[in-house]
Amino acid sequence: MNKIILFICILFCKPCYSQNFTEAGPQIYQFFDADKKPIQIGKDPGYIDGSPSFQDQWAYGILMLENGKVFSDSAINYSLYSGSIYIKKDGNIYPIDYPVKEFILESSNNTGEKKIYHFEKDFPPIHQNDSSTFYEILFNGALIKFLKKENKLVRASHPYNEPEEREYSTVTNFFIFLPKENSIAELGRKVTLKGLKKILPQYSYLIDSYSSFHKLDLKNIKDLEQLFSFLDSSKIEYASSVSH
């Protein structure tokens, strides 16, 4: 396993060094914002509150590369600020430079309940997102994919007679992707039945039918997964019956 990790680091990664060194060597990789102020990947409450990473802790992950190869490691994280994937080895942080098609991260926040997060790219461009943008796959149907895109921005505030305070702020948007049409549409920061029917007019009657018999909490991802599963399977069954 150690040989595989070392192979990944040598072949696909380059080390990232901070301007701040200790006797143990480089500790933190730095990003820079539009004002060329350093933004650190690790927590630094004295400078920027919070973390740019998807998870606070490094976690087990699986990387599916564009050439078909698959690699895994116990210390992987994803930056919602830069959109880059990182691996941690011997206290140093390395960006994954080799093209990654999709990846999976295991939840590290609650040891009692494991959760798997699945990310993919190569979706059609929309707004500031392009084919290299990774989306979290919330529902992965044959006819409908329900996607989430989180970004972390650095926001500054100026308390009266106090130094400037900076913190990471998360912005979340939801999307619908239709594989057969190769089309993507934005639902926005929250999902509504009106918004769903506007983006999916061909599913409007199914949405009304499902919502009339089920108490839907559109803020609950599991409820939305069940709705999309119903829509996806209903259309597949209908198409199959028509073809026969």
User: 209: which DSSP letter?
Assistant: H
- Work out whether the CA dihedral 207, 116, 105, 62 comes out positive or negative: negative
pLDDT attached to residue 167:
86
- Work out whether the CA dihedral 205, 207, 210, 211 comes out positive or negative: negative
180-239 pLDDT tens trace = 999 999 999 999 999 999 999 999 999 999 999 988 999 999 999 999 999 999 865 544
Q: Give the up-direction half-sphere exposure of residue 232: CA atoms within 13 A in the CB hemisphere.
A: 19
H and E: helices and strands count for the chain: 4, 15
Residue 77, H or E segment: strand 70-78
Rounded to whole angstroms, how far apart are CA atoms 118 and 193?
25
- Enter the tokens of residue 2: 């150690």
Q: For residue 54, with 0-12 CB atoms within 10 Å meaning exposed, 13-18 middle and 19 or more buried, which class applies?
A: buried
Residues 6 or more apart whose CB falls under 8 angstroms from that of 89 comprise: 5, 6, 9, 75
Strands 48-49 and 165-178, sheet pairing: parallel
Residue among 3, 5, 28, 1 at smallest CA distance from 15:
28
Confidence of residue 98 (pLDDT cuts 50, 70, 90): confident
32-76 pLDDT tens trace = 555 656 555 544 444 678 888 898 889 999 999 999 999 999 999
Mean pLDDT lowest for which of 2-11, 117-126, 186-195? 2-11
Which residues are bridge partners to 155 per DSSP? Answer: 167
**Domain positions in the chain:** 2-190
Q: Are 90 and 125 in contact (CB under 8 A)?
A: no
pTM higher than 0.95 for the full model?
no
